[in-house]
Amino acid sequence: MDTLVSGIQPTGRLHIGNYLGALRNLVDLQDSGEHACYYFIADLHSLTEPFDPKEKHRQVLELAADLLAAGVDPERAVVFPQSLVPAHSELAWILNTITPMGELERMTQFKDKSARQAEHINAGLFDYPVLMAADILLYEPKFVPVGDDQLQHLELTRTLARRFNAKYGKTFVEPKALLTKTSRVMSLKDPSKKMSKSVPDGCLFIDDEPETIMRKIARAVTDSDATLVYDPERKPGLANLLEIYGALTHLAPKAVAGEFAGTSYATFKEKLAVLASRHFAAFRTRKKELLADPESLRKILAAGAEKAGTIAQKKIDEVKRQVGLIG
Ligand code: AMP
Ligand code: TRP
């Protein structure tokens, strides 16, 4: 059985783009029974963006509830917060010493985030990809399920593995990215932009209540020509809604358009809203139940951290021996 590692930052509620682009894939990979899955909450990474310390722990628990409510099963996948496994930070430090500044300066995510938070360009933001490499390399995964925005970080991870092996002897395996098939979900308010939590108005959150889903989809930006066809170039707003419908029903967006041909946008939007509320009905209930019992969530996370910690500790000990820190 091969190993998979993936992490998600705890920074707030998940939207349907996060679900279709990442979370659902993690659940499917776990359910296939073909992989040992390590799914962690990247709480250390999340400190690189402005946050409220009073909120952080709640965000970690909320993401844990999201993962479990969506179908991640702690009996079959190891679920844990990164900060409870110190080997992540230790390996990041050691990898720092073989990472040229120039390679980090080229990272597009660093450039984007620095532009967005000009008043808070911290060393952690710069070093983010090295911690990510450590997260991955500790568990020797064959695959890392990520969105295409993370490909550059994964390439750096592979480079660091190769460089470490060349310098200190074979220690790490080079992982490959496992890209999710679903294309990008666009904002409901502006279909030229990716759905993103930085513009909450354009997001359909997966724990939104049915009334909210109805309202948001009814108001989603489309176009004034009322012909219902799948045409991403000329009708990007409608195309985005057809893609969401298709992703939830495992149909091609063109086939969805065919099914609704001749009906009005309003009819289609209503059906999509009903579909989305039903799709996430069990999720909403389960998430509320899980969040009502934070102590149980903490226990699940601690148990996951213990399992992950055993594997990670072996690897960091090996690394320290290779580097000459321990004899
Ligand atoms: P973020 O919180 O933006 O870092 O996203 C977490 C995960 O969700 C990453 O794997 C992204 O690739 C994925 N993701 C975020 N936004 C979207 C979107 N609008 N469409 C598809 N996937 C997304
Ligand atoms: N950087 C990833 C993101 O923003 C999150 C992440 C941190 C991650 N460490 C990881 C993903 C290790 C995969 C593997 O989506």
If you measure from the C-alpha of residue 102 to the centroid of ligand 2, how many angstroms do you get, rounded to a whole number? 21
Percent of the chain's residues with pLDDT above 90: 95
Nearest ligand to the C-alpha atom of residue 22: 1
Catalytic residue (choose from 56, 189, 194, 254): 194
Q: Is the CB of 17 under 6 A from ligand 1?
A: yes
Catalytic residue (choose from 113, 269, 287, 315): 113
Q: Is the CB of 13 under 6 A from ligand 1?
A: no
The DSSP code sequence of 96-156 is HTT--HHHHHT-HHHHHHHHHTGGG--HHHHHHHHHHHHHHHTT--SEEEE-GGGHHHHHH
Task: State residue 286's pLDDT score.
Answer: 98
If you measure from the C-alpha of residue 157 to the centroid of ligand 2, how many angstroms do you get, rounded to a whole number? 11
Task: State residue 226's pLDDT score.
Answer: 87
Task: State residue 157's pLDDT score.
Answer: 98
If you measure from the C-alpha of residue 169 to the centroid of ligand 1, how many angstroms do you get, rounded to a whole number? 36
Active site residue 197: yes
Percent of the chain's residues with pLDDT above 70: 100
The DSSP code sequence of 57-73 is HHHHHHHHHHHHHTT--
Lining residues, ligand 2, CB within 6 Å: 5-7, 9, 42, 45, 132, 135-136, 144, 146, 150
- Per DSSP, helices labelled H in the chain are 16-18, 24-31, 43-46, 53-69, 87-96, 101-105, 108-116, 123-137, 151-168, 210-218, 236-249, 253-260, 265-279, 281-291, 294-323
Active site residue 113: yes
pLDDT tens, residue by residue, 254-281: 999 999 999 999 999 999 999 999 999 9
Active site residue 288: no
189-204: average pLDDT = 94
Which among 95, 124, 99 is positioned nearest to 109, based on CA atoms? 124
Task: State residue 147's pLDDT score.
Answer: 85
Tokens of 181: 């098939």
Q: In whole angstroms, what is the distance from residue 129 CA to residue 100 CA?
A: 12
pLDDT tens, residue by residue, 17-47: 999 989 999 999 999 999 999 999 999 999 9
Q: In whole angstroms, what is the distance from residue 261 CA to residue 258 CA?
A: 5
Task: State residue 181's pLDDT score.
Answer: 73
Taking CA atoms only, the protein residue closest to ligand 1 atom 3 is 196
Task: State residue 138's pLDDT score.
Answer: 98
Task: State residue 327's pLDDT score.
Answer: 87
Q: Is the CB of 23 under 6 A from ligand 1?
A: no
Q: Are 258 and 206 spatial neighbours (Cβ–Cβ below 8 Å)?
A: no
| 81 φ/ψ angles, rounded to the nearest 5 degrees | -85, 135
List domains and CATH numbers for the chain: 2-184+294-323 (3.40.50.620), 209-279 (1.10.240.10)
Q: Are 139 and 1 spatial neighbours (Cβ–Cβ below 8 Å)?
A: no
Task: State residue 182's pLDDT score.
Answer: 67
88-105: average pLDDT = 97
What sign results for the dihedral spanned by CA atoms 306, 310, 313, 315? Answer: negative
Q: Are 237 and 253 spatial neighbours (Cβ–Cβ below 8 Å)?
A: no
pLDDT at residue 183 tops 80: no
Task: State residue 148's pLDDT score.
Answer: 84
Tokens of 35: 């992989």
Nearest ligand to the C-alpha atom of residue 181: 1
Q: In whole angstroms, what is the distance from residue 6 CA to residue 41 CA?
A: 9
Task: State residue 198's pLDDT score.
Answer: 86
pLDDT tens, residue by residue, 135-177: 999 999 999 999 888 999 999 999 999 999 999 999 999 999 9
